[in-house]
Chains A and B, each alone.
Chain A
């Protein structure tokens, strides 16, 4: 992987991926007590081998986000209001 490919990950996304890598895959376990629901994942997370798997996903997500933003901007130009950034996170 070329270094520039990693640079497409925003710093906050990279921090989140690193956090996921730590909190989801490691730590104390009380046998039988892990009850994570993955039904409504809203992250760019696709597996426990988070970081590199997610690089490609991140590219897609960031690409989609850019497309979505452009769409929203177009709607704003057309007379609609922009939702807050956080609502799509």
Chain B
């Protein structure tokens, strides 16, 4: 018999868990060790399937705890024996307490920026330039296939640079607009992907309305950017002990 682990907290009480069902319909319980408590439930199988039901059950339990206090959520699919879990709590206690203090009173808010048509315009401009230059190079016959190839690579790199600059500019602009309401952030800039900026912000619950207002103003300011915003989430992006 394994335990399915949902989250950790130093403030959660069993009372918060009495009325909900977790993965496989099991009632969550607490495994406690010197003031730290892991929220877990019994689980009989060796692996957890990624199904809608299981994912929502995991998130439902963690959200229930979040309504009471800010926990450190485990990644979906964490199974451990009770002995292994107790050992984890004992050996990682100091780091876990530091991490809990870091997120206390906060939630995670997510902002994703999706590559819009204007980004493609930049790309196509670069590609148009490439084509023109290739023609020019080919026309003056001053270079062979190698020269044409090098020119093409240079243009591709310039296109990549433009996308990177644009994504970084958006990430910087967003960070600047939200800075006063955000305690910490984890921002990933991926200019070559459709999701060019993925930002997770750690926001104090008391400042959520202010955060939302600032985000609303930022969106109004740059309507050409496609945003996907969500939250409040448990602090998934701020729970990794290795970070």
Contact = CB atoms under 8 A, between A and B. Distances in A.
B80 A24 contact: no
Nearest to B49: A37
Contacts of B236: 22-23, 25-27
B78 A29 contact: yes
Interface string A2-26: 1100100000001110111011111
Given A39-B49, A52-B193, A30 B239 contact: no
Contacts, number: 134
A18 B78 contact: no
Contact of A43 (B50, B74, B230, B239): B50
B112 A26 contact: no
B52 A6 contact: no
A41 B53 CA distance: 11
Interface in B73-99: 73-80, 84-85, 88
A27 to B, nearest CB: 4
Contacts of A37: 47-50, 77
A2 B115 CA distance: 9
A3 B49 contact: no
Interface string A29-47: 1100111111111110100
A16 B51 CA distance: 11
Nearest to A14: B228
A34 B51 contact: no
Nearest to B99: A28
Interface of B: 5, 7-8, 46-52, 55-56, 58-59, 72-80, 84-85, 88, 108, 110, 112, 114-117, 193-195, 226, 228, 230, 233-234, 236-237, 239-241
Given A6-B226, A41-B50, 15 more contacts: A1-B114, A2-B117, A19-B55, A19-B56, A22-B237, A23-B75, A24-B55, A24-B75, A26-B75, A27-B73, A30-B85, A30-B88, A37-B48, A43-B52, A52-B195
